[in-house]
Structure 1
């Protein structure tokens, strides 16, 4: 192999061609001309003394050597990007940005406390928060539009690294006049006929609740599905059904006595909350700090249901 190493422009151009499958689209992505991309790829292949790309009509694909080289390129570029971010943070004493995605419930009940503690550590950092369901947030993470995603354990096709933050349990919430509030347990004979109120159908929480009752062999009547936790609590308070929420979501109502939480059954409905980031880089100091604070605050919230 030639001792002359590829330069960063060639590596970025190669990754762009591999991602886009086209010299034309890669050129548009990098704001270069197609001839500049072609020249760069010829120079790169000459430097490495092997063929990296094959053109099949309008489509450009990787050779076996190109596939191996691409994995190394991603790692190198990822490390360089992370190094630049960390050096920039050191130079400006924590002045940076952090883009976070989280479901609405965490945005309302967890992140305010997390952000208050985080600002004490990095007062010049500028966090931005995007609320949404975990699936759509993971897609934005894959597109590098978010740095971190907080959400339930998720089985998506998005390649990511994750770390468990905390684990909580769902509970049934009813008004104090409800018969189950007095006994403290759900009546097994009535469960199949009860109108349960469950969070959004497309959510991981909804799927967990369904799997829980299926595992018990219970065939539920069609639940009332709402996309807002506040609405679930209000409907439960007026007796429109039995809400299924985490106790930390209903802390105010439980403290006031307008709702009573009872276990969902002998087997709890447990949820794992994790933090996700792209596999092509490690967490920075700022992100590690944010993850640590989120875990501590989340564990305190989860204790409300234990």
Structure 2
């Protein structure tokens, strides 16, 4: 490899071409000429002594080397953007931005309280929240498109650091007229007969539920799989099936008595909620504060999961 390192303009141009799949669109995005982008890419490939881009018809695609280099470029540019924000925050104390990813359930039941407390500490900070499943959010984190992710520990978290925030336990939820509402933990035969309503098949929660019943040796009927907690609660209320959720998700319904929570049977299903950040950097003061508040609010949710 040539000893000359690429400059930032080349990195930004390369990322733009990779994102747009076109020299012309990349040039428009960066307010440059197509000739300038082409010259920059040739110089970049010469300095690295390898091909990063290939033309397939009208489309420009990455080579294998290009994919490797793109990941590094995103990290470099992400770090520089973060450095700029932190330096700006030193000039104007408390004014910054924090990009947070979290599953929909936490966005609804945890983050409103966390953000209210957080704004009291950093009134000029601008939180940006993105909802999604933990695996996809961790991918965004690895690309430096998010600063923090709240979620369950998954196999896709190897490139990030994490800290435990709180634990909860899953429960069966039924209407008060359901036989289980009085009898408590159902027996094995009842569990095999019932229609369960569970969360999205791609989620870590779904994986934990499957593992739980496999360890109990229980062969369940095909469950009704939904991607919305509110829908699970409503269908449980009217007896479509038995929902499996964390009690804090149904706090209002449990308080009102429209749903009753009972243990799942066998060993309790315990989930560990963590906060994730990129392993190549420490947490900033703002991020440490956000993590601390999340842990305190999460401990209240954990308390609701005790049987």
How much does 1:62 deviate? 8.0
Instruction: Give distance in 1, aligned partners of 2:50 and 2:38.
Output: 12
How much does 1:112 deviate? 1.1
Instruction: Give distance in 2, aligned partners of 1:219 and 1:3.
Output: 62
- Which residue is equivalent to 2:272? 272
- The superposition leaves residues 131-160 of structure 1 with CA deviations (integer Å, 9 ceiling, x where unpaired) of 33334444554565543332222334x875
Instruction: Give distance in 2, aligned partners of 1:258 and 1:60.
Output: 55
| Residues matched between the structures, number | 302
Instruction: Give distance in 2, aligned partners of 1:149 and 1:131.
Output: 10
Q: Gaps (5+ residues) in structure 1?
A: none
- Which residue is equivalent to 1:161? 160
TM-score (norm 2): 0.78
Range that drifts further, 271-280 or 33-42: 33-42
- Which residue is equivalent to 1:179? 179
- The 3-state SS of whatever aligns with 1:154 is coil
| 2:75–2:144 Cα contact (<8 Å) kept | no
- Which residue is equivalent to 2:49? 51
- The superposition leaves residues 222-269 of structure 1 with CA deviations (integer Å, 9 ceiling, x where unpaired) of 223333323322333333332211011122232333332221122122
Matched, 1:288 2:288: yes
- The 3-state SS of whatever aligns with 2:240 is coil
TM-score (norm 1): 0.78
| 1:169–1:271 Cα contact (<8 Å) kept | yes
| 1:82–1:284 Cα contact (<8 Å) kept | no
What aligned pairs does 1:1-306 form with structure 2 within 5 A after superposition?
7-13=7-13, 27=27, 30-37=30-37, 39-40=39-40, 51-53=49-51, 77-141=77-141, 144-156=144-156, 160-163=159-162, 164-278=164-278, 281-306=281-306
How much does 1:3 deviate? 9.4
| 2:45–2:52 Cα contact (<8 Å) kept | no
| 1:23–1:60 Cα contact (<8 Å) kept | no
Distance 1:224 1:10, change over 3 A: closer
Distance 1:37 1:203, change over 3 A: same
| 2:85–2:97 Cα contact (<8 Å) kept | no
- The 3-state SS of whatever aligns with 1:192 is helix
Instruction: Give distance in 1, aligned partners of 2:49 and 2:169.
Output: 55
Instruction: Give distance in 2, aligned partners of 1:60 and 1:251.
Output: 50
- The 3-state SS of whatever aligns with 2:193 is coil
Distance 1:68 1:151, change over 3 A: closer
How much does 1:94 deviate? 1.7
RMSD over aligned Cα, in angstroms?
3.7
- The 3-state SS of whatever aligns with 2:170 is strand
- The superposition leaves residues 146-184 of structure 1 with CA deviations (integer Å, 9 ceiling, x where unpaired) of 43332222334x875141322211011223343333333
Q: Gaps (5+ residues) in structure 2?
A: none
How much does 1:15 deviate? 6.2
Range that drifts further, 30-39 or 81-90: 30-39
